[in-house]
Structure 1
Amino acid sequence: MTSLISSLSWIPRGAAAQNPTKYAVDETELARIQGLAKGQLDAAKLELEIAQMMENDGIGLDDDDEEGADGENGDADWEDEEENDAAMEVEGDAVMEEDDADAATSAAAAAAKRIKAAAKGNGAGKADENGKDGGDDEDELAKFNLDDYDKEESRGAAMGAFSNIKGLTYYGDNADDPYITLEAKQEDEELERQELEIRPTDNLIVAAKTEDDVSQLEIYVYDEAEENLYVHHDLLLPAMPLCLEWLDFCPGRTGDDAASQKGNFVAVGTFDPEIEIWSLDVVDGLYPDAILGPPPKDPNAPQPPTPSITDSTPSTDASGNKKKKKKKAKKPKVVAYAEYHVDSILSLSWNRAHRNLLASASADKTIKLWDLARPTSSPALRSFDTLHADKVQSVMWNPKEPTVLLSGAWDGTVRVFDSRAPDAGVGTKVDSDVECLRWDPWEPASFLVSMDNGTVQSYDSRMLSVAKEPASVKRSKALWTLSAHDSSVSSIDINPLVKGMIVTGGTDNMVKVWNIDEQDSGKRNISLVTARDLGVGKVFSASFCPDDPTTLAVAGSKANLQIWDTATNPGVRSIFGDRLRALGKDLSKTGAGLIGLADDNEDDFSSDEEEP
C-alpha cells in the first residue's frame, strides 16, 4: 500500500502556543460541525440520486452488440429469479406461521399447567396421600412469609438519615481518603500539560503523511539543543494531502482587532477541491477551523444536466434480427469556476505582507486568491483562469513585492504577474514540466525553476517578455542552467540565512547541497558541495529551517522524516564556514548529523554482543 510524506512545512520558533489546548466540543462547535456535516451529507445524497438515475437509464455501460443481447436475456432471467424469490418468500412465511402457531399452542399449554398447579397448591397438597407435591409448594412459598407481608412495621422513620453515622469512616485530611482522587487527577493533568508543552526554542514541523488509506498531519517537535525529534500530535484528513502552507492569520475573524490577532495555522491542499485550515495549537482536533472551497450543495436546487448520450441505430445479426445497443455516456468535462476550485489543490502560498491573502494553484488550470478575513463560506476573492493551459503545479508570492505572484504549470510555462493586473504579466517557456518554484530572497527579481527533466534554471523576471495568454508565451534566456539530478527535481529550496546555499531533492533518492558563488564581475560559479541519500526514498520535500542556517528537513516516499544538520559535513564547513561563523554557528559538531524518530522495535542491546 502507499506510504509517503508528500509535503513538509517548518513552523518558526515562538509561533506555537506554549501550552496547546485540548479540542472541546461545546454547543457552538457542535452546531458548526453539524452544519458542515449536513452539507456534505446532502451533497452525497444528491450524487447518489444522480448516479441511480443514470444507472436506471442505462447510462455508462459500454458493451458490444452481443453483450447487449445477452443483457436483454439477462433482464428476463432476473425477472424469473425475482418471481421465484417471491414464491419462496410466500412459502417461507406460511411455514413460519405454522411453526409460530405450534410454538404458541405449546407455550399456552405449559402456562395452563403451571396455573393449575398453583391453584391446587393451597389444599391439594394436603389431600395428596404422599404429600410430596403440595408440601414442596408450601415450603417454597412459606419462606417468603406472604401472609404477614402487610403486618411488618416500617422502621425507616425511626432510623433517620444519620442513624448509622457511628459506622462511617472519616479522615482528617482529604489526602488520606482513598475515595477522593482529585489530587491524583490534578497531578495527571499537570503531567499531561508538561508533556504537551512547547518551549520557545522548539521548532515545529508539519508533515503531510499518507499510510495505506489513512491520511493525516503529523506535527513534530524538533529540539536542536537536545537533538530530539518526536511526534507531538496528529490530525486526521479526509483525503490525501498534496501541499502545506503555514500562516498566522486567524481565518474568518472579523472586527477591528482581527488583523492584529495572530495564531498558528496550516493550510492543507488535497486531492479534493477544498482547502482546509487547521489550528496547530489545538490537540486532537476533529474538524478544521475553516474550509475554502465549493459551498454545500442544496438538494432543492435544480438538478445538473446528465451527461449526453450517444444514440446508435439498431444493428442486425446474420439472421436479420435486430439487436439493441446499450447507451454510452460521454465522460464529463471538468469546467473551471471563478468562485472555487473543481480539482485537486497542488500548491498554496500565504502572503506575509497582506496576511489575509492566500493563493492556491489547482489541477483545474486556475489560480485563485482567498480573503481569510471574510466568512469561511465566502467564494474566492479572484480567479486567474487564462494564465496556463495545463495543471498549475506551483505558485508563490514575491517576498519583497507583496502583490506579485509567480506560477508554473505542466504546460511548460512560467508566469510572473501582478495580482491587480494579470494581463500585463510576463512569462517564459521552459524545457520541461515545472515541478517547483522559489523566489530568491537575496535577489527579489530572480527566481529558480526545477523541472521534470532533472534541471534547474534561474531567471530574472525583468528580462521576460510580456504574455497575455499561454499561446503567446515566448522562451527567454536563463541566467544559468544546472543539471541537478538524473530524474525529476521534485523539491528545491534557497537558504534564507546563508547567501548562495541551495538544496535540491529528486526522485533519484538524492539530496544535494549547492553553492552559487557570484563574483563582482557578474560571473556565477555553481558547484556541488555534498550529495547524500538520507534513506527517505524518492525525495518529495526538502526545506531549510527558518531559524538555523544548516538544518534541513527531508521526507519522501518511505514516509519517514529526517533532520540533517549539514554543518557536520566537511564540504559544507569548508565552503560556507566563513558565512556560518558570521552567523554564530557552532561548527565543532561531527558525525552523521542525522536525527530521526526512534525505532520502537529497536533492541536495548546490540545483537552483535555475545555472552562469554
Structure 2
Amino acid sequence: MEKGIGSSQIFCLSWVKRGAAKSDPDMVMLSAEELKELREVKQELKEETNDVNEEVSSEEDGNADDDLDEYDLGNYDEDEGDYEGIDNMYVYPNNEDDPYILKGDEEESLDSDEELEKSSMTVKPEDNLLICARCSQNTSVLEVFVYNHENKDFFVHHDIPLLETPLCMQWIGFDPGADDRETGNLVALGNFNSTIDIWDLNVLNTLEPVFTIGKDCNKNLKKKPRRRNFVHRDAILDLSWSENVNDCLASASADEIVALWDLEMGVATGVFKDHSSKVQSVEWQPRSNANLCSGSFDGKIYVLDKTTNTSTAQWKVDGEVERITWNRGNNHYFAASTDKGFVYYMDWRKPGSNIFKWKAHKEAVPSLSVFASFSKCFLSTASSDGFVKVWDLEDTDAKMPKLVHEKDIKVGMVHCLQPNPDEELVVACGGQKDAVRLWNLAQTRNISSYLGISSPSEGFDTLKPEGGGDDHDDNVLKYVAGDDYIKPSKIEMSSAKSNGGKKRKKKKKSALKDIKSS
C-alpha cells in the first residue's frame, strides 16, 4: 500500500434534496423464522471453525502450555470471590454489589440515551442526505450522511453493506411501487458485475436492494427463449435520471452501449451502439424529455434522442472522455473533461465545434459541474492531481475561462464532485484517502468576491468527516471559528442534543482506474 493513502476510497456520491427522505425511516425487523435460520447458519460456521481450530491447536499445544503457566488455569475453578456460581452464570448475593445492574439515575440516563438514539435517526425537513460509496479491496459499504446547512451538522445517519462493487450512483426521486410514485427516495448503484441495484433510502437495516436491473435470467436456462431482454455485458460506468423522464434510467457501460431502462418494468426500452469503446459518462439534458449526452473512451461525444433511438450530434475530443455535465441554467451548453486534463465547453446546437478548450489540470478530470448562481456561470472541476478548481465561463469571447480559485481538498486523487441541490455553493467531494469533504464556496474570498456576495463571518470553508479521536465529536460536526477543516468525531451521548452517528472502520485501498480498465 502506498504510504499516506487511505485504506478505502470514495468513488461516487450523490445528494438527496430536502424533503425527499422520510422523517422517520422504516426499520426492517427479522422474523422469528429468519432469526432461527441465522442462528443455525452461525452454529454451522462455528462448528466448522472449531474443527479447524482443533487441528491447529493440536500442533501448537506444546508451545502454548509454557505461555499459559503464569495464569494457573488448572486451579481457575478454585478461585474464591464475592459471588455464587451456577454453571457458567455468576450471581451477586446483593444487587447493590452488582456493577452491571443499573440503579436510579443510571436508568434515567439509559432512557435518555434511547430517546437521543431515536431522535438522531429523524430526518428534519431542512436536512439533506449525502450518499457515499466507500470501497476497499474486500468490502464496499453505502454510507448515508445527514447534512444541515443552518447548524452545520454533518454525520453518518446509517450505512448499508454491499455485496457488489459500485462504480457509479444516481439518486432517483421516483418509486414505481408506491401509491405516490413522485415521492421516491431511491438510489441506483451501477456495479462492476454489469447489474444495477436499486436501494430504498427510507428503509434501515436492509440487506438487499429492492430490485436489480440487468440480470440475465436466461443464461442458465437449457432452452433459450425466442426473445431475450437486453442486459449489459460489462461494468456499469455511469447512470443518469431526470425528473422530466422520471420513469426512465440511463446507463453507460464498458460494453460500449448506452441503455434506457423502464423503472416500472425493469427492462431496457432503448439501446444506443454509436460508440466504439467503453462509455464512461451519460447525462440527461435538463428540462428535456428526449435528449441525453454520452462520452466514451473513443474520444467521441454524442447527443442521443430517446424518441428515435438515434444520435443527432457528434464531437471528437483529445483523449478519453471522463465526464459530461450540462449547464442547468442554460441547457444549450454542456462541458466535457478528458483523461489528459482538458476541459471542453460546447453548444449542442453546433456539432463538431467548441466554445472553450483548455488544459484545466495536470492529470485526468473525472468530475465537473456547471453552476448558474447569482447571475454568474461558472464551472468546478475535480482532478486526479488532488485539486478542485473554479472557472468563470461568463466571457465567451476570451481564449479560455478565467481561473477564479483552486483548492487542495486533502483527499489525494479526487474521484467525484457534486453540488448540493438546495445549497449550490456547497460542494461534496470524494477521493482516494478514505474521505469525503464538503467545500463551501461562499466562504472562499476569491469566489465570494467573484459572485458579488459578502462572505459571512461565521460559517465553514471545508467540512472533514473522519474517524473519531478522544478529544473530538463522533461524526457530529461542530464549527470552530477560524478552522479550515472541521472534524466530526467522538461525542458523549449524554452531552448530545439532537444528533448521533457511527464510528467508521478503516478499510483497504482500491483503485478506480484499475477497476474500470480491467
Counterpart in the other structure of 2:238: 347
Change (3 A) 1:604 1:448: closer
Report the CA distance between 1:338 and its aligned residue. Answer: 5.9
Report the CA distance between 1:502 and its aligned residue. Answer: 1.4
1:204 aligns with 2:129: yes
Instruction: Report how many aligned residue pairs link the two structures.
Output: 398
Counterpart in the other structure of 2:324: 437
Q: How far apart are the structure 2 equivalents of 1:187 and 1:18?
A: 20
Larger Rg over CA atoms: 1
Counterpart in the other structure of 2:450: 575
1:232 aligns with 2:157: yes
1:537 aligns with 2:412: yes
Change (3 A) 1:527 1:360: same
Alignment of 1:34-183 (within 5 A): none
Report the CA distance between 1:571 and its aligned residue. Answer: 0.6
Alignment of 1:184-263 (within 5 A): 190-252=115-177, 257=179, 259-260=181-182, 262-263=183-184
Q: How far apart are the structure 2 equivalents of 1:564 and 1:195?
A: 24
Counterpart in the other structure of 2:269: 381
Counterpart in the other structure of 1:154: none
Q: How far apart are the structure 2 equivalents of 1:340 and 1:258?
A: 29
1:363 aligns with 2:239: no
SS at match of 1:421: coil
Q: Is the 8 A contact 1:454 1:484 kept in 2?
A: yes
Q: Is the 8 A contact 1:503 1:543 kept in 2?
A: no
1:462-489: CA deviation from partner (whole Å, max 9, x where unpaired): 111xxxxxxxxxxx22111121100111
Counterpart in the other structure of 2:344: 457
Q: Looking at secondary structure, tell me which structure has more strand per residue.
A: 2
Q: How far apart are the structure 1 equivalents of 2:215 and 2:221?
A: 17
Counterpart in the other structure of 2:366: 490
Q: Is the 8 A contact 2:270 2:309 kept in 1?
A: no
TM-score after normalising by structure 1:
0.60
1:557 aligns with 2:432: yes
SS at match of 1:194: helix
SS at match of 1:587: coil
2:262 is matched by which residue type in structure 1? D
Alignment of 1:497-536 (within 5 A): 497-498=373-374, 499-518=376-395, 526-536=401-411
Q: Is the 8 A contact 1:23 1:284 kept in 2?
A: yes
User: Which residue, out of 400, 409, 413, partners 2:296?
Assistant: 409
SS at match of 1:575: helix
Q: How far apart are the structure 2 equivalents of 1:415 and 1:252?
A: 33
1:230 is matched by which residue type in structure 2? F
Counterpart in the other structure of 1:547: 422
Change (3 A) 1:249 1:185: farther
Report the CA distance between 1:440 and its aligned residue. Answer: 1.1
Q: Is the 8 A contact 2:322 2:337 kept in 1?
A: yes
Q: Is the 8 A contact 1:252 1:372 kept in 2?
A: no
Q: How far apart are the structure 1 equivalents of 2:175 and 2:110?
A: 33
Q: How far apart are the structure 1 equivalents of 2:271 and 2:229?
A: 5
SS at match of 2:446: helix
Q: How far apart are the structure 1 equivalents of 2:290 and 2:378?
A: 26
Q: How far apart are the structure 2 equivalents of 1:352 and 1:281?
A: 19
Counterpart in the other structure of 1:597: 465
Q: How far apart are the structure 1 equivalents of 2:247 and 2:114?
A: 36
Q: Is the 8 A contact 1:268 1:277 kept in 2?
A: yes
1:22 aligns with 2:27: yes
Q: How far apart are the structure 2 equivalents of 1:280 and 1:537?
A: 29
Change (3 A) 1:285 1:525: same
1:23 is matched by which residue type in structure 2? V
Change (3 A) 1:237 1:297: farther
TM-score after normalising by structure 2:
0.71
Q: What are the ranges of 5 or more consecutive residues in structure 1 without an aligned counterpart?
A: 31-177, 305-336, 465-475, 606-612
SS at match of 1:193: helix
1:80-128: CA deviation from partner (whole Å, max 9, x where unpaired): xxxxxxxxxxxxxxxxxxxxxxxxxxxxxxxxxxxxxxxxxxxxxxxxx
Report the CA distance between 1:533 and its aligned residue. Answer: 0.8
Report the CA distance between 1:189 and its aligned residue. Answer: 5.4
1:195-241: CA deviation from partner (whole Å, max 9, x where unpaired): 10111111111001113411011011112222221111111111221
Q: How far apart are the structure 2 equivalents of 1:276 and 1:201?
A: 28
2:381 is matched by which residue type in structure 1? T
SS at match of 2:245: coil
1:428 aligns with 2:315: yes
Q: How far apart are the structure 2 equivalents of 1:212 and 1:527?
A: 40
Report the CA distance between 1:523 and its aligned residue. Answer: 5.6
Counterpart in the other structure of 1:318: none
Q: What are the ranges of 5 or more consecutive residues in structure 2 without an aligned counterpart?
A: 2-6, 35-102, 474-518
Counterpart in the other structure of 2:8: 3
Q: Is the 8 A contact 2:378 2:394 kept in 1?
A: no
Q: Looking at secondary structure, tell me which structure has more helix per residue.
A: 1
Q: How far apart are the structure 2 equivalents of 1:368 and 1:25?
A: 36
Report the CA distance between 1:382 and its aligned residue. Answer: 2.0
SS at match of 1:291: strand
Q: Is the 8 A contact 2:326 2:335 kept in 1?
A: yes
Q: How far apart are the structure 1 equivalents of 2:289 and 2:354?
A: 24
Q: How far apart are the structure 2 equivalents of 1:496 and 1:545?
A: 13
Q: How far apart are the structure 1 equivalents of 2:340 and 2:114?
A: 54
Q: Is the 8 A contact 1:338 1:383 kept in 2?
A: no
Report the CA distance between 1:443 and its aligned residue. Answer: 2.2
1:277 aligns with 2:153: no
Report the CA distance between 1:274 and its aligned residue. Answer: 0.7
1:351 is matched by which residue type in structure 2? S
1:468-527: CA deviation from partner (whole Å, max 9, x where unpaired): xxxxxxxx22111121100111110112545312110111111111112237xx667621
Counterpart in the other structure of 1:481: 357
SS at match of 1:364: coil
Q: CA RMSD in A?
A: 3.1
SS at match of 1:192: helix
Report the CA distance between 1:379 and its aligned residue. Answer: 2.7
Report the CA distance between 1:344 and its aligned residue. Answer: 0.5
Q: How far apart are the structure 2 equivalents of 1:425 and 1:568?
A: 42
Report the CA distance between 1:590 and its aligned residue. Answer: 6.1
1:199 is matched by which residue type in structure 2? K
1:558 is matched by which residue type in structure 2? K
Counterpart in the other structure of 1:42: none
SS at match of 2:447: helix
Q: How far apart are the structure 2 equivalents of 1:460 and 1:252?
A: 38
Counterpart in the other structure of 1:12: 17
Q: How far apart are the structure 2 equivalents of 1:409 and 1:17?
A: 37
1:130-182: CA deviation from partner (whole Å, max 9, x where unpaired): xxxxxxxxxxxxxxxxxxxxxxxxxxxxxxxxxxxxxxxxxxxxxxxx9xxx9
1:11 is matched by which residue type in structure 2? V
Report the CA distance between 1:432 and its aligned residue. Answer: 0.8
Compare relative contact order (CA 8 Å, sep 6+) and give the higher one, 1 or 2. Answer: 2
Report the CA distance between 1:281 and its aligned residue. Answer: 1.1
